[in-house]
Structure 1
Amino acid sequence: MLAGGGLAIAIFAGQIGVQVSNNLSVYLANAGQIPADAPNLARVGRDVVTGLLSWLGLPLLLLVVAALAGSILQAKPVLTTEKIKPKFSKISLTKGFGRLFSSQSVMEFTKGLLKLAIVATVVILVVWPDRDRLDTLMTYAPADMLDYVKVAALKMFGGAIAIMGLIAAADFLYQRSEFLKKQRMSRQEIKDEHKQTDGDPQVKARIQRIRMERARGRMMAAVPEATLVIANPTHFAVALKYEHQEMNAPVCVAKGVDEVALRIRSVAEENGVPVVENPPLARALHASVELEQEITPEHYQAVAEVIGYVMGLRK
């Protein structure tokens, strides 16, 4: 706004001065010839108002453009009717007094006083050196008087704009810092958000545990149908199923380590499924094959020998 006002004075002050001088000279020169009745006074009033609007229209438009530009530079404009809708829930004396005496209100009031003090200081610094000329200013010719006023106004606006620009920059940085601070979330808020988006970790762990138990139950139920179990004494066990006419290669129906491996061996022995101890092959199969998947080609030969050995025992 200050920059717009200074620019308006710099551009239009001379033209406005000339127009004002010309119009006043017409009325002053013909003051005795203008009837003082109501119609003529109304016409004179209309002429004066029209003249003022024609002189001040462009400067005022420049001020409006400057105000809009300042608002747009500070924040992206958003067109909405939400703010003008009446909401009686917002009418609260307690909240009103709280906002009135809040730290933000005190800060805004302090900034307003500081701006007023700065403008007043600039005016004093500009006018005070020429205080002796003010007594004789009325004796100047109109053009000289307007030139003096124009120069003084530009000095005042220039000084005010420079200082207010620094304050505006500092205020912008402060407001941005406060906004970012308000946008930060606490650790608890981050945890709550993760719970809302990803679910409660404890619930997810419990669900995962239930799924694993069910999968293990299905796996144990498939052990009695296995062709054989390849294991080392205690750590690994892999149950394979192979049907010569139906399968291209043996399929892993169960596997596990430690307690699960012991359970697989126990179920296999209870149901008459052969258990062959081959530690290297058991570890290799456990690491390379997934449940319900065929063994990899690199283990065909070793597994075929074990299956052949089991078939020979059955015969």
Structure 2
Amino acid sequence: MAGEKTEKATPKKRKDQRKEGNVFQSKDVVTVISLLGSFCCLQLLFPMIYRTLRDCLIQFIGYAGTVEELGQGDVPKLGFQAGLVIIKGALPILLIACALAVIATGIQTRFLFASKAFKPKFSNLNPLNGIKNMFSLKSLVELLKGIVKIILLGVILFNILKGELFRLTNTMYMDLGVSTVYVLKKIMNLVFQVCMYFTAVAALDYFYQWWSYEKKLKMSKDEVKEEYKQLEGNPEIKGRIKDMQRQRARSRMMQAVPEADVIIRNPTHYAVALKYDPNRDNAPHLIAKGQDELALRIVKVAEEHDVTVIENKPLARGIYASTPLNAEIPGEYYGVVAEILVQVYKLKNRKLV
């Protein structure tokens, strides 16, 4: 069917969609990269975070044992210290997570910033559109992805905890530093396993988002033709413009015929008009040429303006085929044309040089 969208999107449509902010990306890829990067950062910064929390707890417990009553000035001070501890421990991880999310999104979208994407779309407020989106293929895929993620996470947690549950309960009897390192290792093991399985889900989601995006961009044959008309112009209009240009060129050429020194014809099929100015030109110029009906018109105008017309079949055909308009004739025709011009100039009492 003519309206069926079977054609790949044209570069123009891709460019227009990109300007609108319509590009494909996988949020699962961003999630996996941010999650893995955040926990790797946590593992690297854990000694610093541990020392910071330890010192803070020691300080606060010390206050609890020595200060009988907190004054109004102590609460802001302690709150400020607690805030610094939180910022020092959490801010680097948050910044790295944000940076990784921006980079992962930017790589997929080629760091696109489309201002049009921030404009409110009132069509989103239409409840009918919301209902349609709820039962769309995209919503179904998102639901299936969510179920798969929950199942994978549950299976991974069960496999890890069933063998480590007894050991985890014993951490309360261990040294705080040892138990913390042990728990962190188990958490990192859990995170790496989760990321490994979620990477597969993210890869499938990435290819699905690409497929869905390409499908959405597809165009019908009529749309491709219409776009071609917009880019290249309507073929009928272009044809008319070319016809008008040719007519104007012929009109200018016919206006130059009376200025010719000689018309060489064959006898009805070809006609060429030559002009030679010894003070300006190195060789005769072709100022008009025509075939069939146009050749007859050139001869007629020449006769009306008393321009000499000479019949020479091979010369007329040769100059017509080899010489562009307003260009010098090829050197191979110099001798023959010079003889013709000498005859013409004798008739008109002119000199060739």
User: Which runs of no fewer than 5 residues in structure 2 stay unpaired?
Assistant: 1-33
Q: Report percent identity of matched pairs.
A: 34
CA distance in 2, matches of 1:56, 1:313: 106
Which runs of 5 or more residues in structure 1 are unaligned? none
CA RMSD of aligned residues (A): 4.3
Once the two structures are superposed, the pairs formed by residues 168-207 of structure 1 within 5 Å of their partners are: 168-179=202-213, 187-207=221-241
Which of 288, 292, 304 pairs up with 2:338?
304
Q: 1:53 to 1:176 in 2, by over 3 A?
A: farther
1:2 pairs with one of 35, 38, 46 = 35
Residue 121 (structure 1) aligned with residue 155 (structure 2): yes
Deviates more, 1:136-145 or 1:91-100: 136-145
How far is the alpha carbon of 1:163 from its aligned partner? 1.8
The number of residue pairs the alignment matches comes to 313
> Please, which of 70, 84, 87 is the counterpart of residue 101 of structure 2?
70
Partner of 2:11: none
8 Å Cα contact 1:236-1:261 kept in structure 2: yes
Residues 266 and 62 (structure 1 numbering): CA distance in 2 closer, same or farther, change over 3 Å? same
The alpha-carbon distance between structure 1 residues 227 and 83, as it changes in their structure 2 partners (threshold 3 A), is: closer
1:167 and 2:201 matched: yes
Check conservation: 2:123, 2:129, Cα contact below 8 A.
no
Confirm or deny: 8 A CA contact 1:9 1:153 kept in the other structure: no
Task: Output the amino acid matched with 1:74.
Answer: T
Instruction: Specify the alignment match of 2:319 in structure 1.
Output: 285
- Distance in 2, matches of 1:5 and 1:146, equals 18
| CA deviation map 1:189-240 (0-9, x unaligned) | 4443443333222211111112212322333344345433212234321122
Q: For 2:329, what is the secondary structure of its paired residue? A: coil
Q: State the TM-score, normalizing by the size of structure 1.
A: 0.74
* More displaced 10-residue stretch of structure 1: 1-10 or 76-85: 76-85
CA contact (8 A) 2:271 2:316 kept: yes
* 1:95 CA displacement: 2.9
The 8 Å contact of residues 42 and 93 in structure 2, kept in 1 or not, is answered as no
Q: Distance in 2 between the 1:50 and 1:291 partners?
A: 90
One-letter amino acid matched to 1:3: L
What secondary structure does 2:325 align onto? coil
- Post-superposition CA distance 1:17-63 (Å, at most 9, x none): 6776787789889989876x7x4899699858955862674245314
Select 2:89's aligned residue among 41, 58, 70: 58
Distance 1:264 1:101 in 2: 75
Amino acid at match of 2:311: E
State whether residues 34 and 40 of structure 1, in contact with CA within 8 Å, keep that contact through their aligned partners in structure 2: no
Greater RCO (Cα-Cα under 8 Å, separation 6 or more): 2
Question: For residues 135 and 12 of structure 1, what CA distance do their matches in structure 2 show?
Answer: 26
Q: Structure 1 residues 138, 40: closer, same or farther in 2, change over 3 A?
A: farther
Taking the aligned partners of 2:48 and 2:345, their CA distance within structure 1 comes to 114
